[in-house]
Structure 1
């Protein structure tokens, strides 16, 4: 995997996909569709779009192909009887609800597989993904050119069909990118800005997907190189049935199962009492020191490690690397200096009380038994006069902005034991419904797929500009706009520059893709979005049927 300075033109595709010229007025059945090669032209992944079209139709089509592959992976894993010791026969214990029990069983297989994928992604992220700059320090945050040093990273990763990762790792990476603020923070924290600048490898991945069976098949050499360099198997299911976990107290390794236990006696509580590392009620004892290990204690251990990194290496705490709008701004470059003070407050607070927190969270002392104990202690800390004076230079109670950044810092530990800013297992599962909807409508096999893609990219341009011009309002995407929006986010650097350009009253913010907007009425917000779209297009209809037939009717004639 090479890293180079500056942008390089993408290589042209080495093959041409035949176009099926024979089409009917209405699409064939989905059963027939699965046997038909995609009628796509040679997709162009060059720099063909600009501010007039922030995402290209070809990228949207390549994204659709990838989503179809992910949905097939989910289906195959979920229905593979017996993997992880989870058998369909357990559904027979619920004769009145066998189908519901089978759904729970298949969901559980997918959740365990996804947890294993996050573990593999973590190793790939740290061992194989290139580092383009040192990890960020508190001193970097003082630099007036902090934002520019991040955004203007001039290194790119040369992705090819010979160095792409396995599909499960691509899946986690894809979900990670679809949380733009979290992904940017993690890239800054760990010096992975070349990956942030390069974005998702659309062309390399597209070259590895067969257009008839929609299977992801990198070369044998690619698979062997991956296994040789990272010491993992190419296929997630061929990896170890257990995870090696270091004890938070004695640091000795322990082999723990990914899942342990059965479906249980109630479907409402299915698998809730399982005690494997991928289970909600994970619990084990260290083989060496007999320390009880569970998810909550691993969250505390993660916090303790971040505190240690701040005190010894000056690495800022998570949640205090970008301001409230997702912008990594330097101290003297902020129009409102309070933004910088709010942003760095959590790290300055932890610096002030760090040694006390290391003592409190020391597993040998057993004072902090779970994440609730940590939260309680931190809430006491933010009300402590001496701590606030040390962190702020003088005694002042917390401002709303400081409390928000404090909350963001602590949110990195609640329900999240990974090295990243968010729970990636939850992120993958949360995006499952959208992926299924995309696959079910199956634009890929539509004879007008390219025209559909051109239409939705233009529609997205109007949508994102409405959102930029109305930062205090909630603009709700339709399904086709959602596809373009996600595709845009898979180019993090371009997405950042487009959404932070300050269209409205100088307001700059990195727009997150909020799948469940809070504190708003979705119906009212959708009506408002439709009205704004109508005005922007002089009568355009925002919400339209997107089936093949309607898409074909909207397509221009020959």
Structure 2
């Protein structure tokens, strides 16, 4: 699993302080308390970042967020972090673990998004197979999953709340992503987001926030294409992403795999079940609601679907809910379509994933477990070891 000798954050089941009557799986590993405490410190850093944004204490956030309440301000910030994560994923390498932490480890806001992504392991594993964007993260998978070695991160970068990268590290990040390392500095520059119009494919620039609440980071997002005047919404962008996957030839290799629907390639039994993904894709292709006319190009087929559903994915579930998909029917349809909610490449709403994780972080914070010195005493350490033992059992 690792190029180096067994790291200090993993222990085998024959460790003397773990209950031998409970832990009987030979050769398996469980987190050591050092790694768990480092992980809890990281959660504390996420909590501190959120508090800084929600209360706007020293963050010097743009004036456009001044009128937002705390929850809206945090959702806006997380949206920017997701876009920063996407830029980082495009260049991150999969080199040896220790050097990787020193040269490719992302800023705290990007790490927070990645952390939430990995907490949805089936979606994350499949996306690493399905999306060319995540090819390098897939390469890191054998070393970082299922248990990220947070103690190594702590050793290399120290306290995540006060970590400052070197000058060359900041310069490298800026050159590769086109934005500052510091998320607050970046937030003052990330005013607009670029996307393609689903209808005419022209590039459209839209603000993240507007006074009317129609910015990309807001619930009522809508922007008119300056070229064809189509009113672009998240529902329209989701349908366009779905149509792109539908009309793409899944029989032709595409960076290792064909273009399959999200939620169909990874199963409990197989990391990449191409036969199943093919069956489901073909069932959608043959559906009356989605089938194409004869002698039509793929681009025309895509446009036909967008027009038929009036540039919104909202009506699609009802149109395909009766498909017999490996006996799963509506359940599989709902799982697939849940991945097509906007134009971002990922199969889950990463903004929502980060926000949902906040409630767990709040609990750890209220327990005091994210404090730097909480587990320094032997009695507190025993509590954590007991929790690890119960987790493994």
- 1:72 correspondence with 2:17: no
**CA displacement at 1:291 relative to structure 2:** 1.4
* Maintained 8 Å contact 1:416/1:422: no
**Structure 1 residues 47, 60: closer, same or farther in 2, change over 3 A?**
closer
Query: 2: distance between equivalents of 1:464 and 1:277?
Result: 42
Query: 2: distance between equivalents of 1:426 and 1:164?
Result: 23
Query: 2: distance between equivalents of 1:59 and 1:454?
Result: 15
Residue of structure 2 equivalent to 1:300: 239
**Structure 1 residues 258, 54: closer, same or farther in 2, change over 3 A?**
same
Query: 1: distance between equivalents of 2:243 and 2:98?
Result: 33
**CA displacement at 1:458 relative to structure 2:** 4.2
Give deviations 1:159-218, integer Å, cap 9, x for gaps. Answer: 22232111111010000011111111111113342122221352453146555x942323
Q: Which runs of 4+ in 1 moved over 6 A?
A: none
Query: 2: distance between equivalents of 1:365 and 1:87?
Result: 34
- 1:290 correspondence with 2:233: no
* Maintained 8 Å contact 1:275/1:283: yes
**CA displacement at 1:449 relative to structure 2:** 5.4
**CA displacement at 1:54 relative to structure 2:** 1.4
- 1:375 correspondence with 2:325: no
Residue of structure 1 equivalent to 2:18: none
**CA displacement at 1:84 relative to structure 2:** 4.2
1:401 aligned residue (325, 328, 344): 328
2:173 aligned residue (212, 216, 226): 226
Query: What SS does the corresponding residue of 2:30 show, helix, strand or coil?
Result: coil
**CA displacement at 1:279 relative to structure 2:** 0.6
**Structure 1 residues 464, 256: closer, same or farther in 2, change over 3 A?**
same
**Structure 1 residues 407, 464: closer, same or farther in 2, change over 3 A?**
farther
**CA displacement at 1:330 relative to structure 2:** 5.1
**CA displacement at 1:310 relative to structure 2:** 4.0
Residue of structure 2 equivalent to 1:255: 205
**Structure 1 residues 244, 329: closer, same or farther in 2, change over 3 A?**
closer
- 1:159 correspondence with 2:86: no
2:353 aligned residue (423, 427, 435): 427
Q: Identify unmatched segments of 5+ residues in structure 1.
A: 1-5, 12-43, 91-103, 133-154, 262-272, 332-339, 383-396, 466-558
**Structure 1 residues 253, 105: closer, same or farther in 2, change over 3 A?**
same
- 1:115 correspondence with 2:60: no
Query: What SS does the corresponding residue of 1:160 show, helix, strand or coil?
Result: helix
1:173 aligned residue (107, 114, 119): 114
Give deviations 1:77-130, integer Å, cap 9, x for gaps. Answer: 122277343465x5xxxxxxxxxxxxx711111110100111111121133355
2:384 aligned residue (456, 467, 479): 456
- 1:317 correspondence with 2:312: no
Residue of structure 2 equivalent to 1:128: 92
Query: What SS does the corresponding residue of 1:302 show, helix, strand or coil?
Result: helix
**CA displacement at 1:297 relative to structure 2:** 0.3
**Structure 1 residues 293, 281: closer, same or farther in 2, change over 3 A?**
same
**CA displacement at 1:450 relative to structure 2:** 6.5
Larger Rg: 1
**Structure 1 residues 282, 463: closer, same or farther in 2, change over 3 A?**
same
**Structure 1 residues 7, 120: closer, same or farther in 2, change over 3 A?**
same
Residue of structure 1 equivalent to 2:280: 346
- 1:446 correspondence with 2:381: no
2:2 aligned residue (3, 7, 17): 7
**Structure 1 residues 398, 188: closer, same or farther in 2, change over 3 A?**
closer
Q: What RMSD over aligned residues (CA atoms) do the two structures have, in Å?
A: 3.2
Aligned residues between the structures: 353
- 1:278 correspondence with 2:256: no
Residue of structure 2 equivalent to 1:437: 363
2:337 aligned residue (391, 401, 410): 410
TM-score normalised over the length of structure 2? 0.78
- 1:362 correspondence with 2:303: yes
TM-score normalised over the length of structure 1? 0.57
**CA displacement at 1:61 relative to structure 2:** 0.9
**CA displacement at 1:421 relative to structure 2:** 1.8
Residue of structure 2 equivalent to 1:217: 164
Query: 2: distance between equivalents of 1:326 and 1:232?
Result: 41
* Maintained 8 Å contact 1:74/1:110: yes
